[in-house]
Structure 1
């Protein structure tokens, strides 16, 4: 990779967004509530990408600790030279709704840390939280980029026209973890959103089942500004997934994942909108939920399996791309590999733009 913080121009995106975020590769690590850690987030950033700390189901104290750890790691690596923190924080809209007055405290924890971006997902009233961030920025004189995750064209139009998102994240049905069960495949969704949005619309990022640079290059060619990856970063030493969970991902195949409400029910994380389920590895836990096993029994089995490292009864979120992952690779190296793959694929496709040489066919005798 080049030395410039704006070397993303090499792939012809021409987007100021990447320079604002201070990254070199059009890759974002998703805010994975059960998979991300401060170490993972910082290593993605140090590799040249961007990453989000998940607020998830945690409290203010935990979020502040994660932000402080992130700042400490980046500072020790010589990457933090200002009050701005080179990461983002992801929030579930429905969870902020449940938090009531505590929602502002959660948002304040991120904003006071000076994060560069806030990600909102899974909420019908995200506008009030977007407005809170905007008002905070006005008072402090900073600019925090707003990412809004969507699963349909209508949601994208609302994110742009009503909530004035800075970046739209188009999540397809292939995505691991929570997602909308009505979402089309990522390629179709991104294409439809790009067609529906006006020319001056904010950048669109593709999400769902993406694991390599060739796929990212395809989305760049389609018109997306980059891609969001989750499952690829779970198979890193820095992720929060345990050894048994990673092992289950490594042996998965194209039939291993399923969309289900079972994962949330087993974990006791209730409050999701009705059309939101999740994609993960189908195992005995999912089968028991589908067979109407008593929920308390399932949760006891989950706790015991987690304690003893039995992956056949753990919650293992994973996207459809998991089947093509066969190694555990450090997060920095993942980002660098993705960059090389993107550039190689884009350069390879340039050949179709070269005017073919004129071929002269000699007449037969």
Structure 2
């Protein structure tokens, strides 16, 4: 039996667990497995490359008939792509990182729940004013791109301004204790990314997965090194948390110099092309401390749900002694 929240009621899912739409990680196999286990699997569609989406949605639909969704990057998204995604009838569309305003009307007109991921309180207010059905409050502990707010204080701040709109917590959540904490903070569920990287369904190599399992939070870094090395169009305001490697250690806090160093960029590209772990980007958050091994995605969903129920029941039955 799942934990019932405003999110589970909205989407008709069993557990308030959402797969983060991680680019290069969350494909059809992983999203389908999370949905089939009772959570909500989101495809990490980025700007919406059509051939990738067609392939991965076919894979996802073969895995499950339960609700699923698509995550898209606002700064890279174009309306024709969004309209195509809408035509696939996902159960939710999440838009992150950039101005969601150009896309709200199309999603709402299709009667598809729209989630907007935010990293600041002002962005949360904008999402609410635009009519987002769900607001995802992402803290800086998250892997991949984000900003500087900590999850613990950020989530309740967003909950306070959201009113009846469900809020999801994201960033640093990898087990049932984290999900339970998010629910206690007033969230209706959690968006979980890094933990699902260590699953056989993730679109990662065995070497990348092993690196995530072996890592700890001190082995992550948040900067723009990898974006600059790739001449990425990611907006400058968003830094990225990844596993540290030799290249990130060399160029951390030296992004302005890297921008004009063509030799270093060529070295980086060559290293990535040959799969060299001294160069390869591995997006991962501080929750790597909580990952002890590789598990099937369904087992991760079920364990997190069970742990959350246990944690919530433990708080109810043994709340501790109040202060004098």
TM-score, with normalisation over the residues of structure 2? Answer: 0.91
Q: Match for residue 173 of structure 2?
A: 210
Larger Rg belongs to? 1
Q: Match for residue 362 of structure 1?
A: none
Contact 2:16 2:189 in 1 (8 A): yes
1:6-60 per-residue CA deviation (whole Å, 9 max, x = no partner) reads x433xxx3x2x31342211111001101211110000001111002112214522
Mapped partners of 2:53, 2:279: distance in 1: 28
Mapped partners of 2:123, 2:158: distance in 1: 9
Q: Residue 156 in 1 paired to residue 124 in 2?
A: yes
TM-score, with normalisation over the residues of structure 1? Answer: 0.82
Q: Match for residue 241 of structure 1?
A: 204
Task: Identify unmatched segments of 5+ residues in structure 1.
Answer: 81-85, 97-102, 138-142, 357-365
- Structure 1 stretch 260-269 or stretch 46-55: which is displaced more? 260-269
Task: Identify unmatched segments of 5+ residues in structure 2.
Answer: none
Secondary structure of the structure 2 residue equivalent to 1:248? helix
Q: Match for residue 134 of structure 1?
A: 108
TM-aligned CA distance change 1:353 to 1:176, over 3 Å: closer
Q: Match for residue 3 of structure 2?
A: 8
TM-aligned CA distance change 1:305 to 1:355, over 3 Å: closer
Q: Match for residue 335 of structure 1?
A: 301
Aligned residues: 318
Mapped partners of 2:303, 2:211: distance in 1: 23
Q: Write out aligned runs for 1:164-183 (5 A).
A: 164-180=131-147, 183=148
Q: Match for residue 213 of structure 2?
A: 250
Q: Match for residue 11 of structure 2?
A: 21
Contact 1:249 1:323 in 2 (8 A): no
1:158-211 per-residue CA deviation (whole Å, 9 max, x = no partner) reads 1112x111000000010100112xx3210100111122333xx31000000111
Q: Match for residue 311 of structure 2?
A: 345
Mapped partners of 2:267, 2:113: distance in 1: 41
- Structure 1 stretch 248-257 or stretch 346-355: which is displaced more? 346-355
1:62 Cα offset (Å): 2.0
Mapped partners of 2:90, 2:61: distance in 1: 10
1:354 Cα offset (Å): 10
Secondary structure of the structure 1 residue equivalent to 2:217? coil
Q: Match for residue 34 of structure 2?
A: 44
Instruction: From 121, 126, 135, give the equivalent of 2:96.
Output: 121
Mapped partners of 1:295, 1:232: distance in 2: 35
Secondary structure of the structure 1 residue equivalent to 2:183? helix
Q: Match for residue 155 of structure 2?
A: 190
Instruction: From 222, 229, 236, give the equivalent of 1:274.
Output: 236
Contact 2:33 2:41 in 1 (8 A): no
Contact 2:47 2:72 in 1 (8 A): no
Contact 1:178 1:279 in 2 (8 A): yes
1:340 Cα offset (Å): 0.8
Mapped partners of 1:154, 1:341: distance in 2: 33
Contact 1:288 1:298 in 2 (8 A): no
Mapped partners of 2:310, 2:140: distance in 1: 27
Mapped partners of 1:335, 1:345: distance in 2: 15
